[in-house]
Structure 1
Amino acid sequence: MALSAMLVGDVGGTNVRFGIARRENGRFLIDQYQRFEGDDFDSFHDVLARYLNDKGLEPEHACFALAGPVENGEVQLTNRPWHVSAHEISRRFNIAHVHLINDFAGMARAVPELDRARFDTIINGYPVAGAPILVAGPGTGFGVATLFGSDESGWQVLNGEGGHMAFAPRDQDELELAKVLLQRHGYVSNELVASGSGLNAVHEALCEIHGRAYAKLGPQEMRRLADDGDEMFRSLIQIRANAVMSAAGDLVLANGALGGVVLAGGVSERITDFLTSPEAQERFVRRGPLSKYLRNCPVWLMRDPEAPLIGAAAFHEQEIKR
């Protein structure tokens, strides 16, 4: 398999996705796409073996975007007990060239590879040419990456664990929620409040605050109750949307990311109508004397499930060509 056709993967806390990336007419296309439930496998090696065997593939190049920090070619997934090593993948599967990147690094690197039509608008604005672009949002966890560079100079991604920054409550309801979560967890991050992995904790805390009995519910049932007029569940979703937009605004301030914000992650996709609410949009912009700094910064939503695969392919291609 030549460099023009490489194995790519997106390994999250819930799902694992694989495909074969090929660049055609300047764009990456993903063939042989397949999604697996992570809970169905004991290790990353098991799910990768299933995919390669099912497809009859023997790749020479591979890049995997994983939901966890990368250190020395190894990743311990944040929300799944899997340890992944580029060296071990190369040895077990006879893949000559293997890269591991953070999943939001993959999301970020995909941004310049995608047509703008593949993004929804959350907040209209005017991106500053050449300024960094922030890519962030909640799925199972809360990922953050910053993209900078250009097609001419090459694109670079700054990784971090910004989703674990402390949650900053900004009204009485959020203060009460933060107080309960702090008592139970010792530290309250944006990931705890906004991500899928923290949903049950937030639900349980709000039940205590509202004097209601707690019964574990899935996100779809919570959304149904909110749409039917249940004020506690509407508050739950709005608090999560506000946390996403507030964190995004803080990260733009920290990184000077006036090239715009790209929200990603499954939770962002499911609460889009709350992200576009006046309350959530105010949380993004309102920063006291520096509110004007964010007033023209656009915010988009990425819905493409192939984005981290495309980003992994673009990253690997750039690294191999150096």
Structure 2
Amino acid sequence: MFRILAADIGGTNSRFGFFELEPGAEEPRLQNIVRFATAESASFPELLARLFASPQHFAPSGCDLAVFAVAGPVQGHICRPPNIAWNIDLHDIAGLGLKRGALLNDFAAQAFACRSRAGRESQVLQRGRADHALHGGTMAVLGAGTGLGHCALVVDSAGDYIAVPSEAGHAAFPFVGEEECAYADYVRRSAHLDYCHGDAIVTGSGLSRLHAFLTGESLSPAEVGARLPHSPRTVEWFARFYGRAARNYALNVLSLGGVYLAGGVAAKNTVLVEHPAFLAEFCRSSAHGELLCGLPVLLNKNQDSGVLGAALFGAQRLRRRG
């Protein structure tokens, strides 16, 4: 039996899951999960020391692999997250007694989470057709949060999964019609951008920006979320933009394995993807409308899915190395 420590370290919260992987099992079993506010620790070693300051399901010396999913670019053994005051260096884990470690981007963990119970328990937005939910088909994951994350999950020749990272959130976002182009001009001016990209449109800040454009009210994303039942234009426009982002990525990677939405914006405000404008825009394509209408589209609302995905990544790595 293997023991895996899986962590999802974000700018706001850090989540740690303790897992056991039985011989022959495809998915590790979660034993318990621990959550901390990331800013309460002054360094990565301090965060780990805080975790193990109280008894856990296993001690650091009993851990076969520690996997850290981090909201930032991973470069070998180091990640410098843009929204955390300190860096994450895998060399630091030895001082806590952890023997082996791995780093991956947080959206790579979200991609692996498609194969976990978080993926199986996701809310179905479009059931799709069975012939399009092909075994081994590429899965597209995108999510509106602080940024607009993207990652694809593909299968290699050995049957293992590979997360294919993307910076599609920084690609130019397309607008249609005079009203939308007026909004694009507003975004460029207010956000001081050379061009509009997904991170400025389909995110929490994008929701605030859109609401301000449509209503004149300058509110935080949480405040806009509370007003959505009384803000039909904000809901319809954002749902349309989210559907467009999802459609574009689904076509970019030909996601016959399905499209999974993650991130806090839709998880906390499901109306933004349950509104008919979302699927209407997702399926809108003169060339591939039939294909898009046949793809499964799901909403992952599990706030711990990054931990589950990191654990699944760890299980695959342990099975490879033995």
TM-score range, shorter chain: 0.7 to 0.9
Q: Which runs of 5+ in 1 are unaligned?
A: none
Cα deviation, residue 41, structure 1: 3.3
Quick one: distance in 1 between partners of 2:257 and 2:217?
45
Letter of the 1:174 partner, please give it: E
Query: What does residue 93 of structure 1 align with?
Result: 96
Letter of the 1:195 partner, please give it: T
Quick one: distance in 2 between partners of 1:90 and 1:48?
8
- Is 1:223 aligned to residue 231 of structure 2? no
Quick one: distance in 1 between partners of 2:254 and 2:154?
11
**The one of 195, 218, 231 aligned to 2:203:** 195
Query: What does residue 115 of structure 2 align with?
Result: 112
Bigger mean CA offset, 27-36 vs 243-252: 27-36
The alpha-carbon distance between structure 1 residues 315 and 27, as it changes in their structure 2 partners (threshold 3 A), is closer
Quick one: distance in 1 between partners of 2:217 and 2:209?
14
Quick one: distance in 2 between partners of 1:147 and 1:9?
20
Q: Count how many residue pairs are aligned between Structure 1 and Structure 2.
A: 309
Letter of the 2:224 partner, please give it: M
- Is 1:121 aligned to residue 124 of structure 2? yes
Residues 14 and 140, structure 1, Cα contact 8 Å, conserved in 2: no
Query: What does residue 72 of structure 2 align with?
Result: 68
Quick one: distance in 2 between partners of 1:313 and 1:151?
22
Residues 106 and 306, structure 2, Cα contact 8 Å, conserved in 1: yes
**The one of 163, 168, 187 aligned to 1:181:** 187
Residues 190 and 244, structure 1, Cα contact 8 Å, conserved in 2: no
Residues 21 and 315, structure 2, Cα contact 8 Å, conserved in 1: no
**The one of 161, 168, 178 aligned to 2:174:** 168
Quick one: distance in 1 between partners of 2:177 and 2:87?
40
Letter of the 1:315 partner, please give it: F
Quick one: distance in 1 between partners of 2:11 and 2:180?
26
What is the identity percentage for the equivalent residue pairs of Structure 1 and Structure 2?
A: 28
Bigger mean CA offset, 253-262 vs 281-290: 281-290
**The one of 80, 84, 88 aligned to 2:88:** 84
Letter of the 2:152 partner, please give it: T
- Is 1:42 aligned to residue 42 of structure 2? yes
User: What per-residue deviation string (whole Å, max 9, x for no partner) do you get for residues 77-125 of structure 1?
Assistant: 24334321222x3343232211001111111112223276511101120
The alpha-carbon distance between structure 1 residues 201 and 213, as it changes in their structure 2 partners (threshold 3 A), is closer
* 3-state SS of paired residue (1:144): strand
Residues 142 and 262, structure 2, Cα contact 8 Å, conserved in 1: yes
Quick one: distance in 2 between partners of 1:265 and 1:218?
13
Residues 13 and 140, structure 1, Cα contact 8 Å, conserved in 2: no
Query: What does residue 157 of structure 1 align with?
Result: 163
- What is the TM-score normalised by the length of structure 1? 0.86
Residues 144 and 160, structure 1, Cα contact 8 Å, conserved in 2: yes
* 3-state SS of paired residue (1:27): coil
Query: What does residue 21 of structure 1 align with?
Result: 19
**The one of 275, 278, 282 aligned to 1:277:** 275
- What is the TM-score normalised by the length of structure 2? 0.86
Quick one: distance in 2 between partners of 1:200 and 1:312?
31
Quick one: distance in 2 between partners of 1:55 and 1:165?
45
Query: What does residue 151 of structure 2 align with?
Result: 145
The alpha-carbon distance between structure 1 residues 132 and 41, as it changes in their structure 2 partners (threshold 3 A), is same
The alpha-carbon distance between structure 1 residues 80 and 5, as it changes in their structure 2 partners (threshold 3 A), is same
Residues 8 and 62, structure 1, Cα contact 8 Å, conserved in 2: yes
Cα deviation, residue 152, structure 1: 6.1
The alpha-carbon distance between structure 1 residues 197 and 92, as it changes in their structure 2 partners (threshold 3 A), is farther
The alpha-carbon distance between structure 1 residues 309 and 119, as it changes in their structure 2 partners (threshold 3 A), is same
* 3-state SS of paired residue (1:54): coil
The alpha-carbon distance between structure 1 residues 243 and 39, as it changes in their structure 2 partners (threshold 3 A), is farther
* 3-state SS of paired residue (1:107): helix
Bigger mean CA offset, 249-258 vs 73-82: 73-82
Residues 266 and 272, structure 2, Cα contact 8 Å, conserved in 1: no
* 3-state SS of paired residue (1:53): coil
Cα deviation, residue 264, structure 1: 0.9
Quick one: distance in 2 between partners of 1:115 and 1:101?
18
Query: What does residue 301 of structure 1 align with?
Result: 299
Quick one: distance in 2 between partners of 1:181 and 1:6?
44
Letter of the 1:100 partner, please give it: L
Quick one: distance in 2 between partners of 1:174 and 1:131?
34
Quick one: distance in 2 between partners of 1:115 and 1:200?
28
